Structures are given as structure tokens and as C-alpha cells.
Amino acid sequence: MPDESIPPHVPALELDALLHPLPVEPPAPAARTNVFNRDRILGVIPDYQTVNGSAPPLTRLQKWDLAFKESVDPFNIFSAGFGAAFSQAGNQTPKYGVGDAAFGKRFGAALADATTQNFFGAGLFATVLHQDPRYFRMGPRGTISKRVLYSLSRLFVAYQDSGKPAFNASAIGGMFMGIAASNLYYPSASIRGYVMAGRIETSLFSNLTGNLMSEFWPDIQERFFRNGFLHRQPKP
């Protein structure tokens, strides 16, 4: 009978085994200062939220730290600028029009979109609901199809801080709250039901893509870039 006082987090090899994570001993406090993955997908994409193996739950401060790191990472800021440029080129949502001022508004809106979802999801809701906002890999011992299904399931299933699986209310709630908050700064032409539905679809697809990259990148890195520049180890 596992000791429920010890917060467990263990990725399972079978989907049905996800309901029975095993307990692990929390490391000493000094070892918990660098709790986030510092490897980068393709050498540039941040992967802070991925856990390989077991890990104790995050503290409240660490959850807010994760939200902050995701929001201010240079690659994510660059991605916001790229998305704003793409939106500007076709005068797509949000419909600020054209010109330098419109691009600045689009860029600011893209940064606000990501920041609010991080704030509500990984920060506020993860703290209040006692959920872990990280992604726990199933790993290469599972089949490819099971790992893809597992990545998909993580959109809607998360670990509580206790280690028990539960509906991923923090991520889903953070997504909806972030989209709702955008109505405060989006132009009226972009505040429509079908536009909001499209943004929900885009957010879910983006989250799934992130899960798949987190799940399979370490395998790709090990197989194709073991001795290359993409396999550089972070400094301790």
C-alpha cells in the first residue's frame, strides 16, 4: 500500500496504468532549485515543462516561476512576433488593420495571449486546484501509437499534486480564461463566437503539438543528434 503522504509522479507504460503512479521520495531541498527541464527542442524551443521519469510536485512558487519562464523566454517572444507578422500579412485575427501601428498591436496582443494563458493555467489554476502543469513523458518503452494517444490524453488529464490523475482543469481553464481576457484588447471585429471557437481549436492543436514534441524529441535527439551540437548538456 503506497504512502499517500509522499507526492508521486511516474509516467506509465500502459494507458490504464496511469491510474496507479508509484510513490517516490522527494529530493533534498537543495536539489529542488533547478526543477525545470533546461534542454531545448531543436536547440532553440524551450521545453521547461517536460519531465523524464519521476519528480516531486512543484511548490506554489515553482508553478508561478514556470508560468514566468514560459512567458518571457526569447523564443516564445520571437514566436509572438512571427505570428503577428503572419496575421498582419493577411489582416487576419485580431483585425487591427494594416500599418506599423497595427503590427505593434498584433505583437502586443500575441504576447498578452500567451502570457494570460500561462498566468491562469500554470500559475493561478495550477496553484488553486493543486495540479501539476508539467508534461510527464511516457517514454520510449511504450509503443509509438500508445505514446501518441498518451500525448493526446494529456490535453485533458493532469496529475494532482498528490499524484492522482484528474481532469486537466488548470490547462483547460487557463486556455478559456486567456481567450476570454483577450476580449478586453481585441478589436470588436475579432470578438465573435466563431473566432473564439477557432482560437480554442488553435490552442488545443498547439498544446497537442507541444506534447508530441516533448514526448518524442528526446528519442529523436538521441538517435540523430547524439554527438551533434543539439545534444549539448546544460551547465550545472
Q: What is the pLDDT of residues 79-94, one digit of tens each?
A: 999 988 988 887 788 8
pLDDT tens-place string over residues 9-51: 544 444 444 443 433 333 333 334 468 999 999 989 999 999 9
For residues 164 and 68, give the distance between their C-alpha atoms in angstroms, rounded to a whole number.
26
Q: What whole-number percentage of the chain has pLDDT above 70? A: 81
Q: Which of 121, 234, 132 is nearest to 178 (CA)?
A: 121
Q: Is residue 156 part of a domain?
A: yes
pTM reported for the whole predicted model: 0.78
Q: Which of 15-29, 108-122, 134-148, 151-165 has the lowest mean pLDDT?
A: 15-29
Burial of 158 (0-12, 13-18, 19+ CB in 10 A): buried
Range of the domain at 153: 15-230
- 156-185 pLDDT per residue, tens: 999 999 999 999 999 999 999 999 999 899
Higher pLDDT, 231 or 23: 231
Residue 152 lies in a domain: yes
7 within domain boundaries: no
Whether residue 191 is contained in a domain is answered as yes
Residue 75 inside a domain? The answer is yes
Q: What is the residue-averaged pLDDT of the chain?
A: 83
Neighbouring CB atoms inside 10 A of 151's CB total 22
Residue 138 in this model has a pLDDT that exceeds 90: yes
- Give the mean pLDDT of 196-218: 92
More confident residue, 89 or 216: 216
CA 165 to the chain's CA centroid: 17
CB 149 within 8 A of CB 94: no
Band the pLDDT of 53: cuts 50, 70, 90: confident
In a domain, residue 190? The reply is: yes
Number of domains forming the structure of the chain:
1
Mean pLDDT along residues 180-199: 86
